[in-house]
Structure 1
Amino acid sequence: MMNVVLLEPEIPQNTGNIGRTCCATGTKLHLIEPMGFRINEKSLKRAGMDYWENLDVTIYDSYNDFLEQNPNAKMWYATTKAPKRYTDVEFGTDDFIMFGKESAGIPEEILVDNKEGCIRIPMNPDIRSLNLANSVSIVLYEALRQNDFAGMQMEGELHRLKWM
């Protein structure tokens, strides 16, 4: 099972959308306090729709609490400051991908301590960053693709409509 980690998320709609993506992909969501909203906020649940109740989510008091509870986690840190692209690394089936808060990203001291695990999404140099929910989707789906979308439905079925 893949793992998405949000470090101090600030915008409930982003977290709700990310929660929905996690449900759709069988991914566990890890939320690290402090958050810029309450977990029972309407806008969070509205963005996550009725999927939120099925979400596998754990909330941590702090980054240190997260590290203590996940001591063997293989971590990737999504940041605009990384020298390597998210497509240049090999994701495992149970890796953790961390994203920072919308206003500041992951703190530099965490990035410096984990430089080898830092990855970036290429973008126009005039843009500061992508939306958090979009960034999670981009990187998560690459990780899932590399692992052949394990456990996911791979084909759909079209039904021919009969017109009168």
Structure 2
Amino acid sequence: MRIALYQPDIPGNTGAILRLAACLGFTVDLIEPAGFDLSDRNLKRAGMDYIERAALIRHSSWEVFERWRKGEGRRLLLFTTRAEARYTEFGYSKGDILLFGRETVGVPDNVHHAADARLVIPMQQGARSLNLAMSAAIAAGEALRQLG
């Protein structure tokens, strides 16, 4: 499975997700531009020595990523607060890509509509959003649980 990050803003979150991916055997697709330099020390600090073990693929734009994804025939699962389907009620497959938007603004409508499924992690009323790295961990955990 894969985790895709759409133009991430916060290097610490990306580093934590790279560490998560290295430990769980996920590949991370980073859809540029990122809001930080990939050599950022916060990225390295959050990822610790796991960054060298993480499989990171950089895509220069959304369009480049989409061409690659469609060519691979992979489903794109967007995690968003604008969804109604709960992430625990969805059936995951090994080739799925779990997509997460920018910490500040999520994803634009064209990316939202391109997803094969839009999933939400339910929260208490009044809560705006979870930390991006926590959301990725929750989603990856459920996908792995289902797939054994």
- Measure the CA separation in 1 of the matches of 2:92 and 2:18: 20
Unaligned runs of 5+ in 1: 149-164
The answer as to 2:106 corresponding to 1:105 is yes
- AA matched with 2:94: T
CA shift for structure 1 position 108: 2.3
Instruction: Write out aligned runs for 1:29-40 (5 A).
Output: 29-40=28-39
The answer as to 2:145 corresponding to 1:145 is yes
Provide the residue aligned with 1:41 in structure 2.
Answer: 40
Greater radius of gyration (CA) = 1
SS at match of 1:70: helix
- AA matched with 2:33: P
Instruction: Write out aligned runs for 1:63-78 (5 A).
Output: 63-71=62-70, 72-78=73-79
Instruction: Write out aligned runs for 1:14-163 (5 A).
Output: 14-71=13-70, 72-114=73-115, 117-148=117-148
- AA matched with 1:110: V
- Structure holding more strand per residue: 2
CA shift for structure 1 position 125: 2.0
The answer as to 2:16 corresponding to 1:5 is no
- AA matched with 1:129: S
Percent pairwise identity: 38
- Measure the CA separation in 2 of the matches of 1:112 and 1:60: 19
Aligned length: 146
TM-score in terms of structure 1 length: 0.86
- Structure holding more helix per residue: 2
Cα RMSD, aligned residues only: 1.0
Change (3 A) 1:53 1:113: closer
- Measure the CA separation in 2 of the matches of 1:28 and 1:113: 21
Q: For 1:58-96, what per-residue CA distance to the aligned partner results, in whole angstroms no more than 9, with x for missing partners?
A: 001111100112211111000000010001110011210
- AA matched with 1:33: E
Change (3 A) 1:59 1:120: same
Runs of 4+ in 1 over 6 A off after TM superposition: none
